[in-house]
Amino acid sequence: MNTKPKTILSIFGTRPEAIKMAPLVKALEAEPDVRSIVCVTGQHRSMLQQVLDLFDITPHHDLAIMSENQSLNGLASRIIASVDDVITAEQPDRVLVHGDTTTATAAALAAFHRQVPVAHVEAGLRTGDMSKPWPEEMNRRVVDVVSDLMFAPTPRSHANLAVETLQGRAFITGNTVIDALQSVTKRIDANDALRRTLDARFPFLDHSKHLVLVTGHRRESFGRGLRDICAALARLARRTDVQIVYPVHLNPNVRATVISALGGAQNVFLIEPQDYLGFVRLLQRATVVLTDSGGVQEEAPALGKPVLVMRDVTERPEAIDAGTAVLVGTDSEAIAASVHLLLDDANARAAFSRRVNPYGDGRASARIVAALAGRPFEEFRPVVARGTKDVVGVMREAFA
Ligand code: UD1
Ligand code: UDP
């Protein structure tokens, strides 16, 4: 007897959601009993398109809602109204959303209002502080409240869900970002010509110098936090053995501060947002990664790169526990001192540079598809890395 395929509507809109949903979309497309429909809200425009091109995804619906320096309420209301039309047209059996963006929350609410079940990919991340990250901590909580299936990347995020009063079922799947990262590193590592082409994008890089790779874009850091981050980078750039590479996020609030503080500074290379291939290549070449990004905190440990997290709290404590990431805040002295310490102390660097995979093993999408299909699967169990608390402790004391 032929059963009607289930329509699964995946909705995403920003660069990180697209990177993390791409492997899942591919896995859903390969499922015989699924009609996979992709709707992009277009919360991001060019940064989203870069990912769709790389993973060869052609959305069935593109809501194209981005506007210059958009407000959260304008964005949320446009998404709810437009997603409602897509739900009405497609009549999905289920909606899939990812993470903690306005797209995820507004799309989940639109589905809830139409009584369509919602599944949340990357569920259960928490800092416990509604203002950090803002508005993401609220967004991810709201999505979990309305979801009947929650795909927690790690045991820690699963435990966070277990102590909340939620109605959905939660599974530990690993993070799909590791699926995406593995597919891209495989492409880069297997292809000398591709590696040369990617490296040709960065002719200014000098192999004899340390590459410090930076990303910073969080809303709660706009203003003073971002200015302090830039002050730290300006200070670091005085070293002649360092090259600082900062792909600058397209948010005008980020660009205004970063370009006015660092444009023209020696040893600082402000570049345009890279497609995922280009950015992963930079990660591979980096000595140290400085970031406030969620995804980069997950990718760098998997590549054995030390990460200094320029935030006060993180919803991704696993790499910190494993001793390959440290929270350094946004104080310029603490940031500069941490990077100096890592660059000057090869032992500290070696301790931080262990390859650990607390966030996934490359099989998250397969587990999520199995859970959606009601098939049995083994949940993700990370190999617990032995922490290097001695080095981390020294850094924490030094910068307390
Ligand atoms: C959003 C997410 C944040 C996520 C980040 C990933 C929310 C509230 N914020 O923040 O959680 O970490 O994406 O990067 O959902 N812009 C462009 N072109 C682009 C993308 C952005 O010009 O391709 C500019 C536009 O002026 C846009 C502005 O950036 O209005 C802000 O974009 P928005 O998605 O609202 O916020 P992000 O800071 O990108
Ligand atoms: N990234 C990218 N190009 C860049 C900078 C980052 O492809 O120039 C990738 C990065 O590898 C990670 C994701 O974008 O997978 C992180 O996105 P972002 O920092 O915008 O958002 P967050 O993860 O903080 O939500």
pLDDT at 36 over 80: yes
Instruction: For residue range 287-302, list pLDDT tens digits in order.
Output: 999 999 999 999 999 9
Does 370 map to a domain?
A: no
Q: How far apart are CA 203 and CA 200, in angstroms?
A: 5
* Nearest ligand atom owner, CA of 307: 2
Give yes or no: residues 286 and 330 share one domain.
Answer: yes
Does 376 map to a domain?
A: no
pTM of this structure: 0.97
Does 236 map to a domain?
A: yes
* Nearest ligand atom owner, CA of 23: 2
Does 306 map to a domain?
A: yes
Give yes or no: residues 252 and 337 share one domain.
Answer: yes
Give yes or no: residues 44 and 141 share one domain.
Answer: yes
264 contact partners, CB below 8 Å, separation of at least 6: none
Q: How much distance in Å is there from the Cα of 69 to the middle of ligand 1?
A: 8
Give yes or no: residues 281 and 215 share one domain.
Answer: yes
Instruction: State the CATH number of the domain containing residue 72.
Output: 3.40.50.2000
Q: How far apart are CA 191 and CA 209, in angstroms?
A: 25
Q: Which of 48, 105, 215 to mutate to test the pocket of ligand 2 (most atoms within 8 A of CB)?
A: 215
Give yes or no: residues 82 and 147 share one domain.
Answer: yes
Last residue of a domain, one of 172, 207, 237: 172
Give yes or no: residues 198 and 168 share one domain.
Answer: no
The minimum-distance atom of ligand 1 relative to the CA of 70 is 30
Give yes or no: residues 284 and 334 share one domain.
Answer: yes
Q: Report the percent of the chain where pLDDT is more than 70.
A: 96
Ligand 1 neighbours, Cβ below 6 Å, are: 14-16, 43-47, 66-70, 72, 75, 100-102, 135-136, 217, 250-252
Does 77 map to a domain?
A: yes
> Among all residues, which ones are annotated catalytic?
100, 122, 136, 217, 219, 249
- Dmax (CA) of the chain: 71
Q: Report the percent of the chain where pLDDT is more than 90.
A: 91
Ligand 2 neighbours, Cβ below 6 Å, are: 15-16, 19, 177, 215, 217, 247, 273-274, 276, 279, 293-296, 299
Last residue of a domain, one of 140, 172, 204: 172
Does 377 map to a domain?
A: no
Give yes or no: residues 95 and 197 share one domain.
Answer: no
How many separate domains does the chain show?
2
Tell me the residue range of the domain where 235 lies. Answer: 193-358+386-398
Give yes or no: residues 304 and 338 share one domain.
Answer: yes
Does 1 map to a domain?
A: no
- Residue, of 389 and 184, whose pLDDT is higher: 184
Does 380 map to a domain?
A: no
Q: How much distance in Å is there from the Cα of 352 to the middle of ligand 1?
A: 31
pLDDT at 336 over 80: yes
Instruction: For residue range 59-72, list pLDDT tens digits in order.
Output: 999 999 999 999 99
Nearest CA to ligand 1 atom 3: 101
Last residue of a domain, one of 172, 203, 223: 172
Give yes or no: residues 105 and 207 share one domain.
Answer: no
Q: How much distance in Å is there from the Cα of 129 to the middle of ligand 1?
A: 21
The minimum-distance atom of ligand 1 relative to the CA of 67 is 30
| Confidence (pLDDT) at 396 | 54
Give yes or no: residues 67 and 216 share one domain.
Answer: no
Give yes or no: residues 164 and 306 share one domain.
Answer: no
pLDDT at 352 over 90: no
Q: How much distance in Å is there from the Cα of 44 to the middle of ligand 1?
A: 6
Q: How much distance in Å is there from the Cα of 40 to the middle of ligand 1?
A: 14
